[in-house]
Every structure is written in structure tokens, then in C-alpha cells.
Chains A and B, each alone.
Chain A
């Protein structure tokens, strides 16, 4: 009998660094769809307002920002109507933050499934990010509706053709969130301390991105490091596309695209390498 040929699969202890298998993930695409569906259905079960929360959540946040940062702290909004200034920042930030916090608990929250059945583990974080991408798409429609209302109301706002870059903005944010989430998930599985730390770091990180203030507020000497945050060019470009108040920062947007893809790649490699070992420590 031929000992080496004729086997369809092999399980052994070797874990190469580049073992992730995109073809296999594609084969499980139905499962991704199903997971997204499950999350959509389950997230608004037994709530009175149901899917309306997708809209209410950014509106309420924006309102709070408006009161605190615009009215009380009187922070500049770059001559953009405050509501319109905060809304995209808060939507993009929430997308990043939700994407990251959901993926970083991949192992902890799915241990009961991972312990019982095999499928490519990457499916789960991918489905989380897709779920949040779906939400942000709807929220952006809300933004456009509010924008139109302000425009009709006579506000002096001018969009431009760079609005077409919105998918790129979503992609960068998603890739960055997923990449960070994958990296953190590997460690939260083992060190539960990180959960608390991440909540704190995320809150801090929000103030490192131009969510509640414009980038023009940053002093010259911190500019470079501030703009290297992949979220900064995304949020600023988004505002530029809708308010034409500043040119699109293409240079930093390019860097942001490259760095978030790198983070995603790093996360994927690390995740794929560790996914099976983690099952022994959870």
C-alpha cells in the first residue's frame, strides 16, 4: 500500500505561519451569511424599538456630543453645523469600536461552539465585521438624510465627487478594526485582564481620533503621529467629501489604507496560527 499518497486530509502538530486557507473560507460563505443573519435577527429581539436602534444610537450619541463638546466645551467644528460634524465621526468611530470589541471576544464567546465543531474560525470575526458593516451602511443613509434636511434648511454645505470614496472609508475602518480585533482576540482568550484594559484603551483612543474635534485643532508638533492613526484620514476625508471645507488628505489616506491592510494581514496570520492552540487554554 502506498503510504504517502491517496489521503485527502491530514492532521498533525505542525502549525505553519501561513496556513490560512481562503478557499476554505469561501466554501463556508453560506455560514458567514447565516451568522450575519443570526446576529441581525437576534440583536433586536425583545426590544420595543427593534431595528430603530440602528438610527437612534448614533443620533443620541451625536446629541450628547453636541451638548458636551459644542455647547459646554465650545470646541470648534471647523465651521460645519455641529450635528453634521459629529454624526459621521460618531458613526465611523462606533463602527470601528463595535467591530473591534465584537471580534476581540471571538474565542471567549464562541468557545462552546469551537469546542464542539470544526469550521474555519476566521468565519466568526468576519461575520461580526460584516454585521457591523451592514449597520454602518444603514447609518450612513441616515447621515445623508440628515444632510439633505440641513441643505434644504438653507445651510451652506457643498458635497463633492469624493463621496464615491465612502466604500474605501468603510473598508479601511473595517480592515483596521478586524485586524486589531484578531490580534487582541488571541490574547484575550488567554488573559482575561485584557478585556478590562481594552475597554479603557478604546475610550482613550477615541480622543486620539478627530471624532469630537477637527484635525485642524492639533498642534503642529503632534500632527504626524496624529495623522498616522488610520482613523484620522478616514474621518477627515469623509467630512471633506461632504463639506468641501478642506482638501482630501490623499497622502495620509493612502498610508491609512496600507497600514490597515498590514494590520489585517498580521491579525489573520496570528489568528490562524493560534486558533487551535487557544482551544486548549480556554
Chain B
């Protein structure tokens, strides 16, 4: 008996960026004309504005597998899911498979805000490929799972976002496909509902023998759910197999390279006549056996620069930390101090258990006499902080800008 559910062979996807998809007729006619004129066929690999979102992807998925797809943003995970979901075509190669696929690239696709919950269950179910009879049969189960029974005949525009997501996931969870494709849906909903979803996913794969393809940035959820994982990097598979190993390779891959910038190796150091920055570096103080940055890891930021001001006066340096949405997390400044011309070094320690998980970047500012900005080195260093949790069954994003480990205690004031 053939247990294979999906086989991808040599799948590639190639996107055109910039000029060719500029969206105006004029540009395209211009391109077409110049192409004709030069008698050139657009050479695929030479074009500057083309990228390979996926390249030569091979993999197989067996019945009952829960396959986790891991990779940074832009590594091609979502493109791969889109190809398997038949939303976009591969440029080359093929994917073959058995069984009905349901893709959950988003919850509540096609929900219409003017329609009631009941009507949206049908609409969404049909969009996902269910027949009317199937939805009729599963209707009670869906309503039950969603817990929005009382609001079934209210237009969903009056729903809270939590209710909306619950209803949407409830439809998806009851789809009954042989292959379920899920893209980062666990990022939504409250903890109780997330538990319910993960439980559902586990039972779907375990007891019912369904096959799941699952993209997440949530290592905790991946570890718990997947029996296999694929690591994608720049559109290629760089590791596959046991999730634990693939996850640690993924986390390590970010850290192996030098974190920072050594400008002394480059033709020009950033700066001006007063300041020239030679090196900016992030040195994580890894916890044993965890060679990657997670929320517990203390981070040391080091920078070296040439100071070239003769006139008397003092110097102060500041480190600005931003998160990936551009929110200013903190502004740390050194004290004001007088220096001779020469090579100087700055250092700062961000303790562990302070930053929340996420992506960050820093900028460094050099200030003279507390008021004159000598130089501002913008986003010279970026890094990711991974999540870490001892235990617990909640997989959602930990809220908050920072995540300090201040003790919170509970104690009884009186007995029962």
C-alpha cells in the first residue's frame, strides 16, 4: 500500500520584481518594445529584478505526517504552501499527491461582514470546498467548537475579533480533508482557544491519520506537534528530518555568522571627519548547549571607532534599540568623557530575561558636549531573539515590548 500523500519534485518558483510587474500599460509596452528591438528573450537568470523564491525543492510527505516548515521570512515557506494549495503555479517541477487538500492560509477567508455567523459558516465552508450537505451535517459541531452559538444570527461585523477567529477556525477545523495546510494561524486567539486548536490538530493527525503541513515561527508549537520538519533557506531545503535537530539548526544558522559589521575590512568606514566606525559587534553570552539567542541570553554590544576631534570638549555615545516595527525600545547613553584623538571602544550589556522575543536593530549616536551630534550610525546591527518557555501549554506570542523576569508572587492571606 502506497502511503505517500504528497511528492514534490524539483519544484521551483521564480518571481519577477520591479519593472515587469509595474502595473502600468506604458511600462509594459516600453519593455515589450525594447525587448523586441534588441531581439532578446528575457534571460531568466541574468535579470536583476528576478528572484528564485523556491529552487529545486524535493520532498515527500507520508500519510499521518505532521510536517513543519521552518525558515526566516522570505525563505519560501509561504510560496511553497501556495503552490501546494494551487493558488500560484510553480515555474518548474511538479507536485503530485493523493487526497483532498484544505488550506488554511488564513482563517475566515471570504467572511463577509454583513452576513450573519450562520451564513458565513456556509459561505466559508463552500469557499473551502465543502458541499452543502457536508456543512449541514457538521453544522452543530462547528457551532459547538466555535462557542459563538448565541450570536449565530448576528452579522459578523458586530463580533469581537476573538469570536470572529473562533468561528473561522471552527469551520476550518471541521473541513475533513485528507491533507491540511496551515500557515501561522496559531498567532491568533486567546490561550484557551489555542489549546483547543492544537488539540484538534493533534487528534486530526494522530487518531484520524490526517496529514498536516504546518508553517510556524513558534518553535514551541513546532516541537510539540511535528514529527518531521523541513528547513528552508533562500528557497532551498537545507535540512530535513527530526524536528528537534532541524529547529536547532535553524536557530544556530542565525548565529553562526558574525553578528555585526567589521568595517575595517571594507573600503570605507562609515562616519565623517570626526568619527569613523570600525566595528560593531553583538556577542551573545550563550547559555550552555543553547548556541542561539533566546530571551534568556545576555547580549553584549561592542563597537570600535576612530575619534578625530582636536578641540577640547567631551564625547558621549548612545545606543538606540528598536524592534522590527520601528518602536523605540530604549536609548542608553555613556557618560560624558574627554578623549584624545585615537581608537575608542564602547560596550554595553543587555541582560538576559529582558527583551521579548522578536527582531531588533540598533543604531549608535555620537554626541559632543551633550548637544552636538557628531555622527549617527543607523541600523548597524540587527538580531533576532527566540522565544523560550520551560513548559506550559500556551503557544501564543507573549505580549509586551519587554519581557523581564521580575518575580510575581501569590500567597494566601487567610485559610479557607
Contacts and interface: CB of A to CB of B under 8 A. Distances in A.
B127 interface: yes
Contacts of A119: 127, 129
Contacts of A38: 112, 115, 119, 123
Nearest to B89: A276
B356 interface: no
Contact of A9 (B16, B97, B127): B97
Given A6-B2, A30-B132, A41-B115, A191 B87 contact: no
A117 B126 contact: no
Interface of A: 1, 6-13, 15, 28, 30-31, 34-35, 37-38, 41-42, 45-46, 112-119, 190-194, 276-277, 279-281
A240 B23 CA distance: 46
A12 B28 CA distance: 27
Contact of B115 (A11, A42, A114): A42
B215 interface: no
Contact of B126 (A34, A118, A277, A279): A34
Nearest to A1: B2
A8 B114 CA distance: 38
Interface in B82-132: 82-99, 103, 105-106, 109-110, 112, 114-115, 119, 122-123, 126-129, 131-132
Contact of A10 (B87, B94, B132): B94
Given A38-B123, A194-B25, 8 more contacts: A7-B97, A10-B94, A11-B89, A13-B93, A116-B87, A190-B28, A276-B89, A280-B15
Contacts of A46: 114
A268 to B, nearest CB: 19
A252 B93 CA distance: 49
B15 to A, nearest CB: 7
Nearest to B135: A30
A12 B126 contact: no
Q: Which has the most chain B C-beta neighbours within 10 Å: A41, A112, A117?
A: A117
A167 B90 CA distance: 43
A113 B109 contact: yes
B160 interface: no
B87 A12 contact: no
A191 B129 contact: no
Contacts of B93: 12-13
B153 to A, nearest CB: 13
A279 B87 contact: yes
Contacts of B99: 8
A217 B7 CA distance: 66
Contact of B109 (A7, A15, A117): A117
Nearest to A32: B126
Nearest to B126: A31
A8 to B, nearest CB: 5
Contact of B23 (A12, A31, A42, A191): A191
Contact of A281 (B21, B92, B114): B21
A191 B91 contact: no
Nearest to A45: B114
B46 interface: no
A276 B97 CA distance: 19
24 contacts: A1-B4, A6-B2, A7-B7, A7-B97, A8-B98, A9-B97, A10-B95, A11-B94, A11-B95, A13-B93, A28-B126, A34-B126, A38-B123, A113-B110, A115-B105, A116-B105, A117-B85, A117-B105, A190-B23, A193-B25, A276-B87, A276-B88, A277-B89, A281-B21
Contacts of A15: 89
Nearest to B95: A11
Contacts of B122: 34
Given A12-B94, A42-B114, A191-B24, A118 B2 contact: no
Nearest to A278: B88
A190 B16 CA distance: 13
A222 B319 CA distance: 78
Nearest to A37: B119
A192 B23 contact: yes
B82 to A, nearest CB: 8
Contacts of B109: 112-113, 116-117
In this complex, which of A34, A37, A46, A193 has the most chain B Cβ atoms within 10 angstroms of its Cβ? A34
A232 B132 CA distance: 41
